[in-house]
């Protein structure tokens, strides 16, 4: 959001193509039933402990915080109708539930409409510079592991200028939550195509259509060895809240791509997934240990070799038992699902694609410090200054002056 | 073997230069000689000079690596203008460094390397050992390669391993020549090759061989002795600039109680600071090798936001990358120390050569009105105090600080009097823990409320209940820190930030003058040129000129007492290893006819270059 006056929208509402121009043709249909899906799903993620209403989940007897306690006194200045509002509300509603003392929560963002987010949160926060939030958060989290650090970033912020920092925070696995508000456009700079914009997109900086091939953020995060990768959307706040909660529960870098509507410069970019008419048959909600079904149980996904295909569960040929049972700890399945990307025939997956346990960077860092300290003893400054080859210069005999 | 005593000639000072192929181990050889010299209590200064390529083609002039060392019983201020003894391991080393040797100086030459191929690689058309071009020098030809091979004939090492030991022959011989004991080197070898006894023994054997060679060979009629220097009493150690920087940062962390977070991305010559600090984890030092310089400074700033001492260091191109984040630190008013080990620029420039060409960038290299304190270190040992002071200022004024050092300081070494921890300047930190604003019975925390004396804003660490607040790069409203586009507020904030930095001047101690407190010429220097400038001042005064010099630790703000000092001299000369940067700053600040003296060759000043300039200036 940059000023009150908004230029004309670039694309008509609700008439978006189902796939990005230039997307690969669909896979050939196959009839043979697939092998039963390989890996047996691991334990489902832990359930939250039930909390007596009105008390803090920390159990310290302090009055329970509410959504309001997390709203700062600053006016929210996004355009009316912007998807960012729903995400903000979802986060503010979720935080009281998480049981983290408010003073331990920090939001770090880069630059963009989405990155204004920290100003609206009554927590600690930093609205930093374009693309660098992961770097700043890394220093903060590494030096203060007890803080609960959330990174707010946009598709331009995280994937253009900050692409390098994003992949490195993921591989290092700092225990932070990364919320990527993907609106497939540069909002704050008023509507240029972004690294997630589809090929052929007409924007102010691409009047003849963008020739850039877009990133698939989920696949990118998996490629960077992220330990938690999920996708959600602004218009399904229930699902979004669940994804954010799971991201928070995860110990490690939790990457959540959130489809966010920019109603000013890219309205309807995700309508096929978010609107009532098309959502059921265009989306697939991944759930750990559950068969992949969609369209209100009418359709399922099975694997034909390595190819996912849609099966019709309404006729006698297929049943739920033929569907792929999702296992969010299976890297290969995660990659398969991530590759279903604006596919004309396959529904777009949402949910937790992948999670794994891996030591966090800050744990390793402090563990190493503790280990070296245990081995060498706590450093003594004066001893350190005197270390190495030393020699003593004795005072010279006083000179005799006549 | 019969050992007969040779006469010893006492010298007040000497300059030795070890030079060879970058694979010949000349840096190690030089460092070991420096160590032995320091242990012999000489004052000393060193100048390593190595090629940019890790392993340039053997035998070429651009693959020559050198280590120059100036030591004496008198005060030593520079690595030496003219070399008394050059140890040349091959023709290329002779070719590159002969111009540095004084007429009548000694050339200790490995003649085995002067075969046709060696001469060709160094592009010698005729053999300098035979064509008379070394007349006027004292040439000591030694079959270093052959003698080393002979010594190690039955060592069981292969030829390559044997040849790699020949630097120890040279070292042993030079140690003998300057009457230095072998023990320090022996100990070092024993430690370094503890796990490879065969290599250790071979090196020791060759070292001794070189030493005995001096003792027994008739080529050497005399040996030299440089007596201990008159140094301030105390405990000393030899210290390199990077070591001193690391110690200064650790000391600052220790004295302030702030954990040290050091973010860095490898770059010559700043990498050594990362190497150094990463060894000291038992001081709680967090080192973070980032994905680039932007992440390095970003992480440091993030750590500062969390209440740590956030530090980053870099060189040349890396400073350019950090610029935007430093601006963010100016706006968020968080402490941050950025150490720039300057090197020849622009761009990749001369990565292994020294230069003072980042001063204007440090002062002005940010968009917007973004002043910050800039400090400079003036000697390897001074790096300790400069780093400590940079941290102290950063925290006290809640501001990023740039500390300028350079490749010469980082790699150079000098004897350093170890300070008492108790004697370090106090370094107190006060985090905000309570709301700082009360109105109508309501208590609030205003993150941009300032200390009336320093104008530093309050520093509240995340985790402090009730002080939740947001900072960021958008202009801040005075006191509240809320985003503000108000025109008058912006002007007020720009002025406030500038005034805060200007107030650092109140703490700057009176400027010390070296040499004459008034007279013909005042030399105004900063950074690593101190030794050369002060050596020149001494020599010029010996010749009857009335010359003084001052050396600036604070480049922004400048010390308040400069104008009255300027008044006392006829000429004001500004020597710098750049194309004239401080001189512009001074002209702008004081509107006086400062005279630039610039050297831009990737090398430090020689005192005589400054002397010549001043002599000509005063005669004109
Ligand atoms: C170094 C730098 N370059 C460019 C900009 C201008 N800029 C601000 S936001 C932005 C893009 C934001 O896009 P995105 O991250 O998708 O966020 P959105 O506004 O869409 O939420 C750009 C290019 C900047 N602030 N800083
Ligand atoms: S993302 Fe789009 S709708 Fe939202 S604030 Fe920015 S310009 Fe407005
Ligand atoms: Mg965007």
B395-439 per-position pLDDT tens digit? 999 999 999 999 999 988 888 999 999 999 999 999 999 999 999
Choice from A235, A265, A266, A269 to test ligand 2 binding pocket (greatest atom count within 8 A of CB): A265
Report residue B310 as tokens: 């956030």
The answer to whether the beta carbons of residues A159 and A220 sit under 8 Å apart is yes
- Strand pairing class (B260-264; B286-289): parallel
The answer to whether the beta carbons of residues A150 and A177 sit under 8 Å apart is yes
Determine the pLDDT at residue B4: 56
Q: Is B105 helix (H, G, I), strand (E, B) or coil?
A: strand
Confidence of residue A180 (pLDDT cuts 50, 70, 90): very high
Determine the pLDDT at residue A399: 52
- For A181-190, A393-402, B470-479, which range has the lowest pLDDT when averaged over its residues? A393-402
The answer to whether the beta carbons of residues B315 and B407 sit under 8 Å apart is yes
Distance from CA of B495 to the nearest CA of A (A): 22
**C-alpha of residue A154 to centroid of ligand 1, in Å:** 8
- For A326-335, A385-394, B23-32, which range has the lowest pLDDT when averaged over its residues? A385-394
As a whole number of angstroms, the distance between CA A339 and CA A333 comes to 10
**Residue A143 with chain B: CB contacts under 8 Å:** 259, 261, 286, 302-303, 306-308
**C-alpha of residue A197 to centroid of ligand 1, in Å:** 14
Q: Is A207 on the interface with B (CB under 8 A)?
A: no
Residues spanned by CATH 3.40.50.920 within chain B?
Answer: 514-619
Q: pLDDT tens digits, residue range A7-53?
A: 333 333 434 444 444 444 444 444 343 333 333 444 444 444 444 44
Report residue B377 as tokens: 């270190």
CB atoms within 10 A of CB A12: 9
Cα angle: A245, vertex A248, A249; to 5 degrees: 85
Is the pLDDT assigned to residue B3 strictly greater than 80?
A: no
What average pLDDT does the structure give for chain B? Answer: 95
Determine the pLDDT at residue A397: 63
Confidence of residue A398 (pLDDT cuts 50, 70, 90): low
- Strand pairing class (A254-259; A176-182): parallel
Residues spanned by CATH 3.40.50.970 within chain B?
Answer: 237-423
Residue A255, beta-bridge partner list: A178, A229
Q: pLDDT tens digits, residue range B226-240?
A: 999 888 899 999 899
Distance from CA of A141 to the nearest CA of B (A): 8
Determine the pLDDT at residue B494: 98
Q: Is A13 helix (H, G, I), strand (E, B) or coil?
A: coil
The Cα-based distances of A274 to A40, A233, A402, B176 in angstroms read 31, 7, 99, 84
CATH 1.10.3720.10, applies to B237-423: no
What average pLDDT does the structure give for chain A? Answer: 88
**Exposure pattern of B62-97 as b/e (b: 16+ CB <10 Å)?**
ebbbbbbbbbbbeebbbbbbebbbbbbbbbbbbbbb
B440 burial via Cβ count (<10 Å: 0-12, 13-18, 19+): exposed
Is the pLDDT assigned to residue B255 strictly greater than 60?
A: yes
As a whole number of angstroms, the distance between CA B519 and CA B570 comes to 7
The answer to whether the CB atoms of B299 and A372 lie below 8 A apart is: no
**Exposure pattern of B499-517 as b/e (b: 16+ CB <10 Å)?**
ebbbebeeeeeebebbbbe
- For A24-28, A100-104, A186-190, B549-553, which range has the lowest pLDDT when averaged over its residues? A24-28
Confidence of residue B478 (pLDDT cuts 50, 70, 90): very high
Determine the pLDDT at residue A129: 98
Report residue A85 as tokens: 């509002």
- Residues B271, B272, B273, B279, CA torsion sign: positive
Is the pLDDT assigned to residue A58 strictly greater than 80?
A: no
Query: Within its chain, how far is the Cα of B497 from the centroid?
Result: 31
Query: Within its chain, how far is the Cα of B214 from the centroid?
Result: 34
The answer to whether the CB atoms of A369 and B290 lie below 8 A apart is: no
Tell the CATH superfamily of the B8-226 domain: Pyruvate-ferredoxin oxidoreductase, PFOR, domain III (3.40.920.10)
Q: Is B141 helix (H, G, I), strand (E, B) or coil?
A: strand
**Residue B247 with chain A: CB contacts under 8 Å:** 384-385
**Residue B298 with chain A: CB contacts under 8 Å:** 128, 132, 135-136, 138-139, 165
Interface of A with B in 109-148 (CB under 8 A): 111, 118-119, 121-129, 132, 134-144, 146-147
The answer to whether the beta carbons of residues B517 and B563 sit under 8 Å apart is no
Choice from A116, A129, A157, A263 to test ligand 1 binding pocket (greatest atom count within 8 A of CB): A157
Cα angle: B293, vertex B295, B301; to 5 degrees: 105
The answer to whether the CB atoms of A102 and B470 lie below 8 A apart is: no
**Gyration radius of chain A's alpha carbons:** 25
Cross-chain CB nearest to B250 (options A129, A384, A396):
A384
Is the preceding peptide bond at A394 cis, omega within 30 degrees of 0? no
Task: Report all structural domains of chain A as residue ranges with CATH numbers, in order of start.
Answer: 67-275+359-363 (3.40.50.970)
Determine the pLDDT at residue A232: 98
More confident residue, B54 or A244: A244
The answer to whether the beta carbons of residues B471 and B330 sit under 8 Å apart is no
The answer to whether the beta carbons of residues B574 and B596 sit under 8 Å apart is yes
**Residue A378 with chain B: CB contacts under 8 Å:** 282
The Cα-based distances of A329 to A44, A228, A289, A354 in angstroms read 10, 9, 10, 6
Locus of tokens 């490879």: B196
Which chain A residue has its CA at the smallest distance from B323's CA?
A: A129
The answer to whether the beta carbons of residues A227 and A148 sit under 8 Å apart is no
Q: pLDDT tens digits, residue range A286-298?
A: 999 999 999 999 9
Options 1.10.10.10, 3.50.50.60, 3.40.50.920, 3.30.460.80; which CATH number does B514-619 get? 3.40.50.920
Q: Is A395 on the interface with B (CB under 8 A)?
A: yes
Report residue B214 as tokens: 């001096």
As a whole number of angstroms, the distance between CA B54 and CA A333 comes to 45
Single pTM value for the model:
0.90
As a whole number of angstroms, the distance between CA A100 and CA A356 comes to 23
**C-alpha of residue A184 to centroid of ligand 3, in Å:** 5
**Residue B233 with chain A: CB contacts under 8 Å:** 392-396
Q: Which atom of ligand 2 is nearest to the CA of A78?
A: 5
Closest CA to A298 of A313, A316, A278: A313
CB atoms within 10 A of CB A35: 10
Confidence of residue B70 (pLDDT cuts 50, 70, 90): very high
**Gyration radius of chain B's alpha carbons:** 27
CB atoms within 10 A of CB B579: 15
Q: pLDDT tens digits, residue range B261-312?
A: 999 999 989 999 999 999 999 999 999 999 999 999 999 999 999 999 999 9
ipTM summary value? 0.89
Interface of A with B in 340-379 (CB under 8 A): 365, 368-369, 372-373, 375-379
As a whole number of angstroms, the distance between CA B298 and CA B290 comes to 9
pLDDT average, residue stretch B337-365: 96
Distance from CA of B456 to the nearest CA of A (A): 19
- Is any atom of ligand 2 closer than 6 Å to the C-beta of A98? no
Confidence of residue B219 (pLDDT cuts 50, 70, 90): confident
The answer to whether the beta carbons of residues B116 and B127 sit under 8 Å apart is no
As a whole number of angstroms, the distance between CA B143 and CA B18 comes to 16
**C-alpha of residue A165 to centroid of ligand 3, in Å:** 17
Residues spanned by CATH 3.40.920.10 within chain B?
Answer: 8-226
**Residue A118 with chain B: CB contacts under 8 Å:** 470, 472
Closest CA to B304 of B421, B495, B482, B457: B457
As a whole number of angstroms, the distance between CA B43 and CA B238 comes to 10
Q: pLDDT tens digits, residue range B120-139?
A: 999 999 999 999 999 999 99
Closest CA to B302 of A81, A174, A377, A359: A174
pLDDT average, residue stretch A349-354: 98
Closest CA to B566 of B590, B600, B540: B590
Which chain A residue has its CA at the smallest distance from B282's CA?
A: A373
Determine the pLDDT at residue B266: 97
The answer to whether the CB atoms of B247 and A103 lie below 8 A apart is: no
Cα angle: A18, vertex A19, A24; to 5 degrees: 145
As a whole number of angstroms, the distance between CA B561 and CA B545 comes to 24
More confident residue, A390 or A256: A256
Cross-chain CB nearest to B310 (options A139, A369, A373):
A139
- Strand pairing class (A293-294; A299-304): antiparallel
Report residue B485 as tokens: 């586009």
Confidence of residue B251 (pLDDT cuts 50, 70, 90): very high
As a whole number of angstroms, the distance between CA B433 and CA B545 comes to 59
A54 burial via Cβ count (<10 Å: 0-12, 13-18, 19+): exposed
Q: Is A387 on the interface with B (CB under 8 A)?
A: yes
B191 CB contacts (<8 Å, ≥6 apart)? none
């Amino acid at each position: 959001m940059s000023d009150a006056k908004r230029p004309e929208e670039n694309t008509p509402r609700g008439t978006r193509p189902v796939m990005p121009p230039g997307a690969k043709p669909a896979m050939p249909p196959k009839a043979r039933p697939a092998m039963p899906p390989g890996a047996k799903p691991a334990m489902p993620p832990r359930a939250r402990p039930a909390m007596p209403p009105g008390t803090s989940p920390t159990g310290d007897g302090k009055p329970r915080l509410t959504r309001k306690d997390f709203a700062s006194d600053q006016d929210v200045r996004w355009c009316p109708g912007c998807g960012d509002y729903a995400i903000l509300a979802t986060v503010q509603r979720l935080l009281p539930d998480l049981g983290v003392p408010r003073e331990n929560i920090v939001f770090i963002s880069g630059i963009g409409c989405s990155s204004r987010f920290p100003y609206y949160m009554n927590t600690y926060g930093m609205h930093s510079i374009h693309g660098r939030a992961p770097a700043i958060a890394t220093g903060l989290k590494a030096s203060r592991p007890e803080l609960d650090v959330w990174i707010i970033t946009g598709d331009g912020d995280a994937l253009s200028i900050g692409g390098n920092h994003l992949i490195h925070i993921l591989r290092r696995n700092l225990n932070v939550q990364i919320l990527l508000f993907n609106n497939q456009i540069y909002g704050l700079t008023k509507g240029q195509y972004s690294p997630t914009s589809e090929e052929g997109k007409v924007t102010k900086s691409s009047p003849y259509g963008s020739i850039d091939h877009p990133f698939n953020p989920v696949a990118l995060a998996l490629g960077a060895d992220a330990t938690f990768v999920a996708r959600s959307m602004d218009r399904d706040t229930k699902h979004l809240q669940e994804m954010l909660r799971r991201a928070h529960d995860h110990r490690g870098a939790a990457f959540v791509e959130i489809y966010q509507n920019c109603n000013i410069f890219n309205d309807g970019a995700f309508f096929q997934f978010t609107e009532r008419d098309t959502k059921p048959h265009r989306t697939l909600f991944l759930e750990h240990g559950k068969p992949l079904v969609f369209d209100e149980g009418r359709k399922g996904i099975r694997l034909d070799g390595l190819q996912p295909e849609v099966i019709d569960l309404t006729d006698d040929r297929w049943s739920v038992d033929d569907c792929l049972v999702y296992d969010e700890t299976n890297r290969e399945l995660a990659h398969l699902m991530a590759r279903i990307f604006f596919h004309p025939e396959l529904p777009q997956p949402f949910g937790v694609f992948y999670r794994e346990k891996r030591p966090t960077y800050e744990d390793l860092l402090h563990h190493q410090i503790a280990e070296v300290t245990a081995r060498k003893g706590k450093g003594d400054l004066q001893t350190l200054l005197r270390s190495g080859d030393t020699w003593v210069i004795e005072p010279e005999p006083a000179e005799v002056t006549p | 073997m019969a050992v007969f005593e040779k006469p010893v000639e006492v010298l007040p000072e000497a300059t030795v230069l070890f030079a060879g192929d970058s694979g010949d181990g000349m840096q190690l050889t030089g460092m070991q000689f420096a160590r032995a010299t320091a242990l012999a209590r000489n004052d000393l200064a060193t100048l390593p000079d190595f090629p940019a390529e890790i392993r340039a083609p053997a035998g070429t002039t651009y693959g020559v690596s050198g280590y120059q060392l100036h030591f004496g019983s008198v005060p030593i201020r520079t690595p030496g203008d003219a070399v008394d003894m050059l140890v040349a391991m091959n023709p290329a080393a002779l070719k590159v460094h002969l111009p540095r040797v004084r007429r009548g100086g000694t050339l200790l030459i490995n003649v085995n390397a002067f075969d046709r191929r060696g001469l060709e690689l160094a592009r010698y058309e005729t053999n300098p050992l035979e064509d008379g071009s070394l007349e006027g020098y004292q040439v000591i030809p030694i079959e270093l390669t052959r003698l080393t091979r002979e010594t190690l004939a039955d060592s069981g090492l292969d030829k390559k391993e044997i040849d790699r030991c020949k630097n120890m022959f040279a070292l042993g011989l030079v140690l003998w020549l300057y009457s230095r004991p072998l023990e320090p080197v022996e100990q070092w070898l024993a430690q370094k090759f503890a796990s490879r006894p065969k290599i250790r023994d071979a090196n020791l054997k060759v070292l001794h061989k070189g030493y005995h060679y001096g003792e027994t060979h008739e080529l050497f009629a005399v040996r030299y002795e440089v007596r201990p220097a008159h140094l301030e009493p105390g405990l000393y150690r030899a210290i390199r600039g990077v070591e001193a920087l690391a110690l200064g940062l650790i000391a600052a962390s220790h004295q302030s109680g702030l954990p040290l977070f050091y973010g860095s991305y490898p770059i010559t010559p700043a990498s050594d600071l990362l190497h150094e600090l990463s060894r000291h984890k038992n001081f709680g030092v967090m080192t973070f090798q980032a994905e680039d310089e932007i992440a390095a400074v970003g992480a440091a700033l993030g750590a500062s936001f969390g209440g740590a001492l956030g530090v980053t260091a870099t060189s040349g191109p890396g400073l350019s990358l950090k610029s935007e984040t430093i601006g963010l630190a100016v706006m968020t008013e968080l402490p941050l120390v950025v150490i720039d080990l300057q090197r020849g620029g622009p761009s990749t420039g001369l990565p292994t050569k020294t230069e003072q060409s980042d001063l204007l960038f440090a002062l002005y290299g940010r968009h917007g009105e973004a002043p910050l304190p800039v400090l400079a270190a003036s000697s390897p040992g001074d790096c300790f105090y400069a780093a400590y002071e940079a941290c102290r200022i950063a925290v006290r004024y809640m501001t990023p600080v740039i500390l300028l050092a350079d490749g010469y300081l980082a790699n150079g070494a000098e004897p350093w009097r170890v300070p008492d921890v108790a004697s370090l300047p106090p370094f107190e930190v006060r985090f905000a823990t309570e709301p700082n604003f009360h109105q109508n019975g309501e208590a609030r925390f205003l993150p941009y409320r300032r200390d009336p004396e320093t104008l530093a804003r309050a520093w509240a660490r995340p985790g402090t209940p009730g002080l939740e607040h947001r900072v960021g790069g958008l202009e801040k409203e005075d006191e509240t820190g809320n985003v503000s586009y108000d025109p008058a507020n912006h002007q007020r904030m720009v002025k406030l930030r500038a005034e805060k930095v200007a107030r650092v001047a109140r703490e700057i101690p009176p400027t010390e003058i070296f040499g004459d407190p008034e007279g013909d010429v005042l030399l105004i220097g900063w950074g690593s040129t101190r030794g050369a400038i002060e050596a020149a001042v001494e020599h010029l005064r010996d010749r009857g000129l009335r010359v003084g010099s001052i050396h600036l630790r604070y480049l922004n703000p400048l010390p308040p007492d400069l104008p009255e000092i300027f008044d006392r001299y006829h000429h004001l000369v500004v020597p710098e290893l750049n194309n004239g940067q401080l001189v512009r700053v001074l002209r702008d600040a004081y509107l006086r006819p400062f005279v630039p003296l610039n050297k831009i060759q990737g090398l430090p000043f020689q005192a005589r270059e400054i002397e010549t300039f001043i002599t000509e200036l005063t005669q004109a």
